[in-house]
A and B are shown apart, each in its own frame.
Chain A
Amino acid sequence: MKIKIIIFLIILNLNVVNAETSLVDSNKIFKNLRCLVCQGQSVGDSNSEFAQTIKLVVRDQIKEGKTEKEIYEFLIEKYGDWIVYKPPLNKVNFVLWLFPYLVFVAGGTIIFLFLKKRDNH
């Protein structure tokens, strides 16, 4: 019974999420781009001329109907990986993306083995 309620709620949940509109959010993109001439600020947070230009470019591209991913790819091609705050998963960055999970799994395994050893006693 309880399980059924939970499953029901999860399905309901998914419906709500799907009801969301799938517009490309320009503010979100601005936040994920580094302002290259500033000291650790995103394009969204900066009011430098560089940031203004990038905002124009991004807005134009959204109008052209490009997806979020295409816009990032376009900018990376022009300015390099340095411009995006979310490094793409490639052979330089795979350690960054995988290592935390490796630690997580390893930690879980250690605790599990630790307890199992004890339970066998």
Chain B
Amino acid sequence: MLSNIGNTLLSLNILIGISIIYFSFKNLNNSKTLIGKKIYHLCLFQSTFIIICFLTLVSAFIVSDFSIITVYQNSHSLKPFLYKISGTWGNHEGSLLLWAIILTIFSFFFLFYNKYHPKNYRIYSLIIQNILILGFLFFLLFNSNPFSMVSPTPKEGLGLNPILQDPALAIHPPLLYVGFVGSSIYFSAAMASLITNYSGKLFAQSIKNWVLISWSFQTLGILAGSIWAYYELGWGGFWFWDPVENASLLPWFAMSALLHSLIVLEKRNLLYFWVIILCLLTFILSVTGTFLVRSGILNSVHTFANDPSRGLYILIFLSLMIFASVLLFFSKFKNNSYNLNSNSKETFILINNWFMIFYLITVLLGTVYPIFTEVLTDHKVSVGPPFYNAVIIPIVVIFLFFMSVGPRIKWIKNKFYNLNLLFKILIASIFINFFIIYLFQGYSLMSNFIIISALFLVFASLMDLYKSLKKQNIELPRVISHLAFGFLILFIGLNYNFSIEKDFNLKVGEKKVFENYSIEFQNLKLEDFKNYKAVIGEFNISKSDENLNQSLYPEIRIYEKPSTITYEASIRSDLLKDYYITMSNIDRSEYYNIKFQKKPFMMWIWISVIFISLGGFLRFFKNAKKYY
């Protein structure tokens, strides 16, 4: 029954999408300056229906309706309630439905909140957005239908992959999707802007809040994924430069570049075509990321052949999108003469874009390079953390200095440099760096540079923060994001250099002593839980020169549905450091392989990222108050 409701609503939404496009074209031809009521109503229906459609799927998961194949494959009646719900988007079909929802809701709100912009521009945005919506709805209905039936109805589902049963991963996809699917709306708006020649300041104002909101959510989404990887995958790392992680980072770089150059367009009416390129690029990268992840092309070129239809559809969709946007772009492109002074805020924002594009290209190339080498030369290569670290980190050092100075520069032409102050900040940063080295331990030259430049940004931003709090000006959101970014790099640098990692084998009752630490394997017990069995170890960490006595309980979990073994890390976090233990069994032996890690400042890495996105949200609310 739920399956029929879902399918009906999907088909209905396709009809609504087509009629919106039809009525929009009709509306373009009449001379009224207002958009017809009919279109508003249709859009409202469209959003309502797609939400109901999604809720239908959610309820199918809640009541465990195994006649629906998606539910059968990804759920189980014994699964905890939260993960029944998050199972809705923890799979290909359900997550595509989430795509469609965000496309639709953004379309409605964009139409609704941009009343003061010209009719044609809004109508064309609506038309293009609806073409995108239709593209996804057709894909949903004919290729990846979340409501497909399975007959006869199975008694029990196969269960959700246990490593996906996690609160951080439950919220990860929705956050990330608001981010990169949200970028569709400025893709549509950019196309509409090219078609209707609606450029400049007003165009910038019409999309700026959408860029801000998607950027902020994208940041949080990446964070949730990273936290999940930290404690669920048992790596102890928070960023692995894994292709799937990179796919979420690529649109983020493009958005960050756009976020900045949009200010130039708004304030100085410059860089219009560059802003358009970034608008188009962001969504294209989002779809590219989805293609790379969903087609399975990234893990191995061969899985692509196993499910060619899915990847092929997205690939065709993507190619059409790129083709249409490139064609339109070049038909409208004019070589404007720009009026830019080398010592101005505009130039520094261009420099920001220059670095962002560099990061983007590096990560994109690193992600897709293995595919090319395998296809072209039959040569398998891995591109991982050491590559990105080697290429990106030296450039980040320069970037951080520009980031500290840029916001202090005036628009149009900067006359006055407070070099003395910057010099003092630099000296202070270098001294603090020495302080860290002498007090704790030395690190490589590159780490020195990273920490000095991060401190430089932190101090420069702290001064800005002080000034902006005193004067109550609107710069506060920017200062918060920049400051948090400085802290992020600083804490990553410290975390990287002061982590302790130890790998050893122990059996129950044994003790491992190294440096000042002593780790005792005290106990091992077997417990039964609702949907898994667990082998739980008890470890005691003590430190000779400190009054430290912590117990940690890493687990090995054995799930029945689907049958999987996962290794659960046990983590003790406090403000300054995390202790992290994972254990795994060694075949045919009573010994366990233990991995102990001490990771300083983990908490602060997460907090920094939250503050980066907080800056985005703050600016969003300020703008919303001003314009709507």
Contact = CB atoms under 8 A, between A and B. Distances in A.
Contacts of A81: 379-382
Contact of B299 (A2, A40, A111): A40
B365 A99 contact: yes
B235 A45 contact: yes
B240 interface: yes
Contact of B361 (A80, A83, A103): A103
Interface string A73-89: 00000001111111100
Given A85-B383, A86-B386, A16 B437 contact: yes
B382 A47 contact: no
A22 B373 CA distance: 35
A24 interface: no
Interface residues of B, number: 60
Contact of A16 (B365, B442, B503): B442
A46 B238 CA distance: 15
Contacts of B351: 111
A85 B395 contact: no
Given A47-B593, A85-B387, A107 B354 contact: yes
Contacts of B427: 5, 9
A2 B395 CA distance: 25
A17 B369 contact: no
A82 to B, nearest CB: 4
Contacts of B366: 96
A42 B384 contact: yes
Interface in A3-62: 5-6, 9, 12-14, 16-17, 19-20, 27, 30-32, 34, 39-42, 44-45, 47, 49, 52, 55
Interface string B442-464: 11110010000000000000000
A34 B382 contact: yes
B358 A103 contact: yes
Contact of B340 (A47, A93, A114): A114
Given A16-B434, A17-B445, A87 B382 contact: yes
B327 interface: no
A119 interface: yes
A63 interface: no
B394 to A, nearest CB: 10
Nearest to B236: A45
Given A92-B373, A114-B338, 7 more contacts: A13-B448, A27-B501, A39-B299, A103-B358, A104-B358, A115-B340, A119-B342
A60 B242 CA distance: 29
B385 interface: yes
Contacts of B582: 47
A56 to B, nearest CB: 11
B347 A115 contact: yes
A32 B386 contact: yes
Nearest to B431: A9
A82 B370 CA distance: 9
B354 A111 contact: yes
A87 B383 contact: yes
Contacts of B386: 31-32, 85-86
A121 to B, nearest CB: 8
B350 interface: yes
B418 interface: no
B390 A86 contact: yes
B429 to A, nearest CB: 10
Nearest to A10: B430
Contacts of B423: 2
A69 interface: no
Contacts of B595: 47
Enumerate the 7 nearest inter-chain pairs by beta-carbon distance, A residue then B residue, closest first.
A85-B384, A86-B386, A47-B584, A45-B235, A100-B362, A82-B380, A115-B342
A86 B299 CA distance: 17
Nearest to B448: A13
B234 interface: yes
Contact of B384 (A39, A86, A115): A86
A40 B242 contact: yes
Interface string B354-382: 10011001100110010001000101111
A30 B501 CA distance: 11
25 contacts: A9-B427, A13-B434, A17-B442, A20-B443, A30-B503, A32-B386, A40-B299, A45-B233, A47-B234, A52-B593, A81-B379, A81-B380, A86-B386, A87-B382, A93-B369, A96-B365, A96-B366, A96-B383, A100-B391, A111-B350, A111-B354, A114-B350, A118-B340, A118-B341, A118-B342
Contacts of A87: 381-383, 387
A65 interface: no
B372 to A, nearest CB: 8
A2 B362 CA distance: 36
A30 B381 CA distance: 17
B587 interface: yes
A17 B361 contact: no
A41 B235 contact: yes
A98 B347 CA distance: 26
Given A40-B299, A87-B381, A100-B358, A55 B442 contact: no
Nearest to B386: A86
B339 A118 contact: yes
A38 B242 CA distance: 13
A40 B383 contact: no
A42 B241 CA distance: 11
Contacts of B235: 41-42, 45
Contact of A84 (B350, B382, B501, B503): B382
A119 B584 CA distance: 65
Given A45-B236, A96-B366, A107 B437 contact: no
